Structure 1
Amino acid sequence: MTKLKLITSQLIDVLNRLAEEATEIDILTSFVMKSGVKKLVPALQKAAARGAEIRIGTGDYLHITQPDALQMLADELPEAEIRLFQSGGRSFHPKAYLFRLGEQGHVIIGSSNMSASALTGGVEWNVAAENEILFDEALKEFEAVFYDERTIPVNHETIADYRSRYDQFHAKQSLRVQWTEAEEVEVMFSEAADQESVIAEEQPAYLTPRPAQKAALKALEQTMDEQYERALVVMATGLGKTYLAAFFAKHFRRVLFVAHRNEILEQAKRSFLHVHPERTAGILDGNSKEKEADMIFASVFTIGSKHHLHSFRPDEFDLIVIDEFHHAASRSYEKVRDYFVPKFFLGITATPDRMDNKDVYGICDGNVAYRIHFMEAIQKQWLAPFHYYGVYDDTDYSALTWLGSRYDEEELLAVQMRAEMAEKILAAWKKNKQTRTIAFCSSIRQAEFLSSYFNENGYKTIALHSSTKNVTRPAAISMLEKGELDAIFTVDLFNEGVDIPSVDTILFTRPTESLTVFTQQIGRGLRTAPGKTHCVMIDLIGNYRNADVKMRVFDTEPERKKRDIVPAMPANCVMDFDLKAVELLTEMSRKRNPRKEQLYYAYEDLKKELGRRPSYLELHLHGAADSKMVKEFHQSYPGFLYALGELNEAEQEAFKQFEHWFAEVEKTGMTKSYKMVVLLYMLSKGPDRWLDPITPQEAAPFFHHYLTSKEYRKRIDFSDRQGQKLAQYNEKAVADLIAKMPMTKWSGSSGLVSFDGNVFQVNVDAGGNEMVYEWTKEICEFRLHGYFERKENRRN
């Protein structure tokens, strides 16, 4: 029986009482005010001290949320996860407070945002309900918003960015005086959205692996033989990653499959049951709690909550599969990775966030078991070839405001929603299209606008997005497949987890902001289907950001520094640009260094994500750029930070004094890892003693342990005859090797390193300088990681 209660005043008393016992607290309000944070924080601090999980989400709609309120939440509740929804001008007005008390779920939904008046004596109506089904449904919707791609973490960097936008907005508005410490005004909006989400799936009629799956399975089995416990497989969209995981699961008893979208879970469940009909399968998400099955398909947001996570033993599952693994570095997945200890951990993805697997490399112990680029799959005839048409767009995007990861939505719409723009898109589509089109737009309003324009010109199209009411996604897909629709205009519904093999035309009507998303969208058209000879891609090329680097996604050799504006294509593919489009891309590339700019953008984005200055290795693992450009353009990581203006006065002095040493650590040759292992031993002594001279005999135990503690290190650097002897640990032999290889070879090259036959020394007068110590350590750790990563990638 559901217990209901209407609350018309002093909501704060109810929230405080529930917070006293809650194990999980989730709050989503359209805005937060300093006055409200002051009221609620004491109870949340007590809950956090007890170990309760706390998530708070809010939005930037109309820039009502106060930057000081965000700062107070971040400062006073460091244990909480706090995120800000970037509305882009779209109405955003949820007000929900969710509390889990043991097995009971309490939901409070109504009119109260997080302000003093709304929580105390204002005219507010809220309904409190104690009902587990309602709680699970509300939690599911909360997580859909909280982890939406438009939300960002709230930290020092993102607050500073928001504060700047907040000040700019209110400098032009008359509302600001209303939102002071005495503010008690609430504005209510509502906006319904169709949350139904299903998937079109192609079930194979056979249960034997396809060629790409066979190759990947062989690589995974070899990985297990080499005693790895984790691996990543990168397979282009359309090659059957889910079925690969299902075939691999035959080696394991109990399986957990984790993804971030419910439609992916449903598809995976069907695929696994098709391969393993004798096993039981269950869904664990906001609606279903089927925890006893042999194979569980779980939403990361559901299983990531402490309540559900701790209902399983850490060793409950023999195999854990993370789908769309490019999301795995996020905090939600981190909880799952850190808690469970499976026999094997498999990540599968088509598009690692950083285009070259660096962000997930460390998560899988340096083991990318199998990788195939979509261009290689096309050459092998495993995917459909394509004809790409780059259509010149004369819109001046340079005049639009860039918000860090996207253009200002209103400014972008002003140039997109013009009849001449729609006519240009229609003409390019009519000239090049085939039979079934998915068109990717940057916003709901653009999708609606273009769909209406195409319909007015005699074509049958619909705009399909989260707010579409007149047709469901499965119905729209069916209409497209039957030829009852010429095109579907969408925003992001078909990026992941939805496959429509018969689609033979992809239309890009939006500036490319993310290379990962661009790759995912390309993949929507590359599945093979009866009667389908190729996929047509129609792409508008303007002077927007990333226009001159987007061709990277077609490049199977990302390591090359020099590349043509238009990459070379295999024989069965066509890439055709308007002449003006080529001229534009050439001019953009000549005016600036896109690789260097990409590095700067990647650093700034990661800094905002972390809320602090990232380390060198963090930039390498999680930054959306090739970290080798740091040395290429700036000689060292401290030099890169200096160029960006990231160093305070003391740090600038330290860099200038020791920049030759940092460059030495960055550039010294490494045919093996030995130099950096010796340096790592020296650094292990701490900032006061790391420059003490050492002997080969002294370093030998550390050296041996480091290179044998991980199977891949031992295999890579103890693979020759001498190394095999060293692996058996002969201390004298190890000491002799250290003296011969890293110490002798490193000394004398720059005068900064010396070795007199038995004493190795770094001749840098930086003893006790913690900045020099930390930067040296960062470079050393980066180079070691990069060395083993490079060797492993060559092997694969």
Structure 2
Amino acid sequence: MSKVELIQRNLIEKIQEHIETSSTIYILTSFVMKSGVRLLKETLKKAAERGADIKICAGDYLFVTQPEALRELISIHPDIEVRLWRSRGVSFHPKAYLFENTTSGYFIVGSSNLSKSALTEGIEWNIGLDKTVDENVFAESMEEFLKLFYADETVQVNEETLKDYEKQYHDYHQRHPNLARTWAESEEVELMLPVDKAETEINERDHDVIYDPATVTYETIQPRFAQVEALERLEAAYEEGYDKAMVVMATGLGKTYLAAFFARNFQKALFIAHREEILRQAKKSFQRVMPNKTFGIYDGNVKEKKADIIFASIFTLSMKKHLEAFAKDAFDLIVIDEFHHAAARSYQRVLNYFQPKFLLGITATPDRNDNKDVYAICDGNVAYKIDFIEAVQRGWLAPFRYYGVYDDTDYSKIKWLGNRYDEAELLQVQLREEMADKILKAWEKYKKTRTLVFCSSIKQADFLSEYFRKRNYRTVSLHSKQTDTPRGKAIAMLEKGELDAIFTVDLFNEGVDIPSVDTLLFVRPTESLTVFTQQVGRGLRLYEGKDYCVIIDLIGNYRNADVKLKLFDTERNADKNGKREKVIPTVPDNCSLHLDIQAINLLEEMRKKRQPRKEKLLWDYKQLKQELGYRPTYLQLHLRGRSDAIEYKSEFKSYVGFLYWADELSEKEKEVFLKYESWLVEAERTPMAKSYKMVVLLAMLNRGPSRWHLPITPKEAAPFFHQYLMEKEYRKRIDFSDKKTKQLWIYDEEKVSKLIAEMPMTKWSGSSNGLLSFENGIFSLHFSIAKEDEEILYQWTKEICEYRLHVYFERKSKI
């Protein structure tokens, strides 16, 4: 077979040949047609059945991709992953087919989309390359595919996201009838539009050299500041028998060094991150802490397996081939950097595979403001937590002076696309000299010496940087498409005082530190509170001669403008007891916060007009439902929803009550809800000083849908009750370790039964408004359940029970 070949006809034959022999199959295409899916359907099905790793990414640009084609793709086999790139009007035109097995690889790139004409008789040019032509380029292609596949712009294709896409597809073609096409299987015409050349970073080439400690001149270092406290908590958790934990530390407190100090307790460790530069910085940190260990990088271009500590790219490691190159028990410790990403499917694949002695997640931003909750991944065990406000108060981060500058842009007139503003409409108001001049004047008034400017787009960064340069300031616009000044050089120039400011989009959110930065300028709407927190952290690192950091922030009527200031509030977690929320937060004593009077008036107005709570809960629920492809369980809502599940209970008395209000129940379910609402509310709201009520209820539920509601005695519940509380160390520590219950660690039926009778059964029956009773040693429901309602009510009760137990232990573990 030729190592490089031009394929002009019948690409289908080459694709099918490689599907049949490959264990990794990645397809990237700008659009997908039914005719193309049908050509590959049987071949893909057989590949999936034999366990091949199959991922297909298509685009929605101009809504050419047919909804029916996507539906047919996901119906082939449940193990085939299909994602849709949401282009939002930006051209998306890749066409690539990547294949790999244990001994070889093949890469096709060219003009053919996934349609019958493109794969058979259409006029197409495609180049096929054997992996041996350039293994570095091949590895880079695999890595770049996964970055696209799991990018924020993609969504998993399932029935829920398909409904949404289908609606947009039909709406678009109704609005653009001249662009609408009737796609016959025999004639499919590709829309060829220009695409911007994407910059790619060339990583270190693949080699076999592993770090040699003899060549390293680092001096070993010791824990300091928050690292001391966090390390003590981590080591205590490990000694107590925990196998998972999360540490939440503000940016600048040394999370990576903490992981390195903790790793001294283990022989073999794996450090996972989503960016190559984080891996290399982490490697240097670990080398300083453990100079006698060996270290290796494992990413798209470097495969250093034979080392004590391996630093791996999640995009490489999540490939089936690379994951299975390691034994499941290859590592004693696994560290996940930026742990708030860990709920993503790529991380879940890795975490489900490995069996370490301990899993450590480290992050600065675990909150569910923008991200899926990650507490469940570490069994709710937060070993240590300190945010940037507390760190500033304790002198571990630099103080700040915040200046809120009024922005008169009316963002309510700019289209909101679910998680960001429409870039084209946003640029119309941003790329104005009047706006640029206002930004410049605010910066000149408050700035110190070295500034990072956070912009919302490359065009805005370029525009403002040029505007500042024309006013004799030394600036550079630094982003993924900038080639004139390398990132490293720009950072060095800023540190030396040779630049006044770096304008950037998102390069400095995670993993890049410039401690000398003393001014932050935000000229973008705060769409993500997580990103805003990360960016604030870029200016708070301690540095010789830096007495405080200036934060200059444009305040307009954009989303989250009235919420983000809470991040600076020392009283944000205090019990307000119904008191009205303040617009101006209470900042640490060594800090200050100043707002333009117009900004104060705007925030007051926004607080009054805040999005109705019920509508926000509905929006967040629908987002999660789309992500999952089905109606989330109560626990899934808590673990992965954007709003706290407790808000649903507070607003609607029960999760099922919310589903009823949102018209998410079938007619039969609505009927069942109305008949048994009082029981569902009772199960949701009964107070829990300990977990015992729900453990007894779970013991009842374990008898199955037709028997769960039958009476139960303390003696019948005792074996399950004891086993449940003893099988997890954290449950035993929280609810089974006081003076009385410690005696029950060795099972004693009579004593456990007595505890159950005295506590959950007697107490719950007395507070249940007649719904439960405990008489003559029998605990029972005081209402009847129709046979035809059993299954539905059983499932709902079980969801409530599992949710409440999880939340109870999660909350208690943080106290």
Bucket of the pairwise TM-score, normalised by the shorter protein: over 0.9
Provide the residue aligned with 1:442 in structure 2.
456
Pick which of 46-55 and 641-650 moved more: 641-650
**Inter-partner Cα distance in structure 2 for 1:453 and 1:82:** 43
1:191 to 167, 192, 196: 196
Q: Which sections of structure 1, spanning at least 5 residues, go unmatched?
A: none
Q: Is the 8 A contact 1:388 1:537 kept in 2?
A: yes
Q: Is the 8 A contact 2:695 2:721 kept in 1?
A: yes
1:753 to 754, 766, 772: 772
Pick which of 31-40 and 257-266 moved more: 31-40
Render the CA deviation track for 1:726-783: whole Å, top value 9, x for unaligned.
2221111111111110001011431111111311112233354222211111111111
Q: Is the 8 A contact 2:218 2:287 kept in 1?
A: no
Provide the residue aligned with 2:121 in structure 1.
121
Provide the residue aligned with 2:404 in structure 1.
390
Matched, 1:399 2:420: no
Q: SS at the partner of 1:83?
A: strand
Matched, 1:781 2:795: no
Q: Is the 8 A contact 2:398 2:547 kept in 1?
A: yes
Provide the residue aligned with 2:258 in structure 1.
244
Pick which of 739-748 and 61-70 moved more: 61-70
Output aligned runs, 1:330-341, within 5 Å.
Answer: 330-341=344-355
Q: Is the 8 A contact 2:370 2:528 kept in 1?
A: no
Matched, 1:71 2:71: yes
Name the aligned partner's letter for residue 222 of structure 1.
Answer: A
Provide the residue aligned with 1:518 in structure 2.
532
**Percent of counterpart pairs with the same letter?**
58
**Inter-partner Cα distance in structure 1 for 2:716 and 2:19:** 55
State the TM-score, normalized to the length of structure 1: 0.96
**Inter-partner Cα distance in structure 2 for 1:385 and 1:306:** 46
**Inter-partner Cα distance in structure 1 for 2:372 and 2:455:** 29
Provide the residue aligned with 2:312 in structure 1.
298
Provide the residue aligned with 1:52 in structure 2.
52
Matched, 1:143 2:146: yes
Pick which of 281-290 and 436-445 moved more: 436-445
Q: Is the 8 A contact 2:218 2:291 kept in 1?
A: no
**Inter-partner Cα distance in structure 1 for 2:356 and 2:231:** 19
Q: Is the 8 A contact 1:700 1:735 kept in 2?
A: yes
Output aligned runs, 1:211-610, within 5 Å.
Answer: 211-354=225-368, 359-555=373-569, 557-558=572-573, 560=575, 563-592=581-610, 598-610=616-628
Pick which of 433-442 and 290-299 moved more: 433-442
Name the aligned partner's letter for residue 697 of structure 2.
Answer: L
**Inter-partner Cα distance in structure 2 for 1:715 and 1:668:** 23
Render the CA deviation track for 1:5-47: whole Å, top value 9, x for unaligned.
1100111111111111111101111222222222222211111
Name the aligned partner's letter for residue 793 of structure 1.
Answer: K
**Inter-partner Cα distance in structure 1 for 2:226 and 2:615:** 36
For residues 189 and 355 of structure 1, do their structure 2 counterparts lie closer, same or farther at Cα, with a shift above 3 Å needed? closer
Provide the residue aligned with 1:666 in structure 2.
684
Render the CA deviation track for 1:404-439: whole Å, top value 9, x for unaligned.
211222222222222222222222222222221111
For residues 312 and 515 of structure 1, do their structure 2 counterparts lie closer, same or farther at Cα, with a shift above 3 Å needed? same
Root mean square deviation, CA, Å: 2.1
Q: Is the 8 A contact 1:549 1:594 kept in 2?
A: no
Aligned positions, number: 791
Q: Which sections of structure 2, spanning at least 5 residues, go unmatched?
A: 205-216
Provide the residue aligned with 1:680 in structure 2.
698
TM-aligned CA deviation for residue 329 of structure 1:
1.1
Render the CA deviation track for 1:596-637: whole Å, top value 9, x for unaligned.
555334322222221221111111111222222122111111
TM-aligned CA deviation for residue 204 of structure 1:
9.1
Q: SS at the partner of 1:359?
A: coil
TM-aligned CA deviation for residue 564 of structure 1:
1.7
**Inter-partner Cα distance in structure 1 for 2:162 and 2:372:** 28
Q: Is the 8 A contact 1:197 1:473 kept in 2?
A: no
For residues 375 and 206 of structure 1, do their structure 2 counterparts lie closer, same or farther at Cα, with a shift above 3 Å needed? farther
**Inter-partner Cα distance in structure 2 for 1:146 and 1:447:** 26
**Inter-partner Cα distance in structure 2 for 1:595 and 1:371:** 29
Q: Is the 8 A contact 1:393 1:542 kept in 2?
A: yes
Pick which of 648-657 and 276-285 moved more: 648-657
Q: Is the 8 A contact 1:404 1:605 kept in 2?
A: no
Q: SS at the partner of 1:346?
A: strand
Matched, 1:706 2:724: yes
Matched, 1:172 2:185: no
**Inter-partner Cα distance in structure 2 for 1:702 and 1:403:** 49
For residues 747 and 197 of structure 1, do their structure 2 counterparts lie closer, same or farther at Cα, with a shift above 3 Å needed? farther
Q: SS at the partner of 1:506?
A: strand
For residues 544 and 356 of structure 1, do their structure 2 counterparts lie closer, same or farther at Cα, with a shift above 3 Å needed? closer
State the TM-score, normalized to the length of structure 2: 0.94
TM-aligned CA deviation for residue 327 of structure 1:
0.8
Name the aligned partner's letter for residue 560 of structure 2.
Answer: N
Render the CA deviation track for 1:216-244: whole Å, top value 9, x for unaligned.
11001111121111111111000111111
Q: SS at the partner of 1:20?
A: helix
Q: Is the 8 A contact 2:173 2:180 kept in 1?
A: no
For residues 353 and 197 of structure 1, do their structure 2 counterparts lie closer, same or farther at Cα, with a shift above 3 Å needed? farther
For residues 91 and 451 of structure 1, do their structure 2 counterparts lie closer, same or farther at Cα, with a shift above 3 Å needed? farther
Pick which of 667-676 and 413-422 moved more: 413-422
For residues 158 and 226 of structure 1, do their structure 2 counterparts lie closer, same or farther at Cα, with a shift above 3 Å needed? same
Provide the residue aligned with 2:785 in structure 1.
766
Q: Is the 8 A contact 2:251 2:534 kept in 1?
A: yes
Q: Is the 8 A contact 1:691 1:767 kept in 2?
A: no
Provide the residue aligned with 1:35 in structure 2.
35
